Amino acid sequence: MKQIVLKLLTSIIVTLTACSSEQHKIASIDEASGISYCQNSGTLMVANDEGSLYEITPKGEIVSRHKIGKYDLEGVVCEDKEVILAVEDGLLLKVDRKTFQTKELKIKGDGFKFNKKSGIEGIAKIGNLYYLAIQAKDKEKAKLLIVKAGTNYAKIKKIIKHGIIDSAGMEYHNKQLYIVSDKKDKLYIYNLKTNKVLKKIKLDKFAQEGVSFDNSGNIFFADDNGAVFRYTTKELGIR
């Protein structure tokens, strides 16, 4: 009898969790792996694992879709004239927002080697530097690469060990770095000056791969299972 009750409770919890995230779904995009709000257009750029770049409205309407190439895209930063895409195996891609012409910048320096177990999983921009989240299943290997983009390649300037397992997406917002962990279903607020986690926010259970904020109190998540979710910062207790 106890086992039956436990199974029923588990089923109810799973159903409620699924419904909770489903209520926040605004778009269906296969293998969505990164998301970034564009300040000048009020839209969002969403990258996926199959090398495509989508532009959507904050309500989830798809404005455009472009196949960039055979790249495993893992993150995106939207700027006024171009989009910067992070490729898992160690590339930054500059993409012109009008012509969609691309330029590859191979990431070099500090003897770091990219592979399937230590590939790029997320990207954020702070000033003129790019912060790249590296895939890691244990705390010792969990790190950020700080990279500066040049004309023909990008160079690693510094490596930070942050201890956040499976950091899959990032965004710099209100002078703090926000990092999502798919494995932990959490959003971490990380202070770069102290190199410490300030707060952990429990998320609904889904495959978090990217995070971004707009100017209207909304926070968006790219879900690797094929969706984009929108929550309010108030819902998640973010000031």
Structure confidence by residue, pLDDT tens digits, 106-155: 999 878 888 878 899 999 999 999 999 998 988 888 999 999 999 999 99
Query: Does pLDDT of 16 surpass 50?
Result: no
* pLDDT tens figures, 34-75: 999 999 999 999 999 999 999 999 999 999 999 999 999 999
The amino acid at 207: A
What is the structure's pLDDT at 83?
Answer: 98
Q: What is the pLDDT of residues 170-226, one digit of tens each?
A: 999 999 999 999 889 999 999 999 999 999 999 999 999 999 999 999 999 999 999
Residues 211 and 169: beta-carbon distance below 8 Å: yes
For residue 88, what is the domain's CATH number? Answer: 2.120.10.30
Q: In what order do the strands lie in the sheet with 186-191?
A: 167-173, 176-181, 186-191, 196-202
Is the pLDDT reported for residue 4 higher than 70?
Answer: no
Beta strands in the chain (DSSP E): 25-27, 32-38, 43-48, 52-56, 62-67, 73-78, 82-87, 91-96, 102-108, 120-126, 129-134, 143-149, 153-161, 167-173, 176-181, 186-191, 196-202, 208-213, 218-223, 227-232
Task: Locate all alpha helices (DSSP H) within the chain, ordered by sequence.
Answer: 2-22
Q: Does residue 3 register a pLDDT over 60? A: no
Using 50, 70 and 90 to split pLDDT, how confident is the model at 157? Answer: very high
Joined tokens for residue 233: 């910062």
Q: Per the domain annotation, does 149 fall within a domain? A: yes
Residues of the domain holding 40: 2-232
Q: Is residue 239 part of a domain?
A: no
> pLDDT > 70: what percent of the chain?
92
Confidence of residue 8 (pLDDT cuts 50, 70, 90): very low
Of 181, 175, 162, residue with least CA distance to 121: 181
Is residue 48 within 8 A of residue 33, CB to CB? The reply is yes
pLDDT at 54: 98
The whole-number pLDDT of residue 11 equals 43
pLDDT in the model for residue 151:
95
What is the tally of structural domains in the chain?
Answer: 1
For residue 126, how many other CB atoms are within 10 A of its CB?
13
pLDDT of residue 9: 42
Position 1 scores a pLDDT of 52
pLDDT at 7 over 90: no
**Interatomic CA distance for residues 133 and 91, integer angstroms:** 13
Residues 6+ apart with CB under 8 A from 71: 51, 85, 87, 91, 93
DSSP states of 94-136 as a string?
EEETTT--EEEEEEE-TT----TTS-EEEEEEETTEEEEEEP-
Average pLDDT along the chain: 91
> Is residue 237 situated within a structural domain?
no
Q: Are strands 176-181 and 167-173 parallel, antiparallel or unpaired?
A: antiparallel
The answer to the question of residue 238 being in a domain is no
What pLDDT was estimated at residue 10? 43
Given this model, what pLDDT does residue 31 score? 97
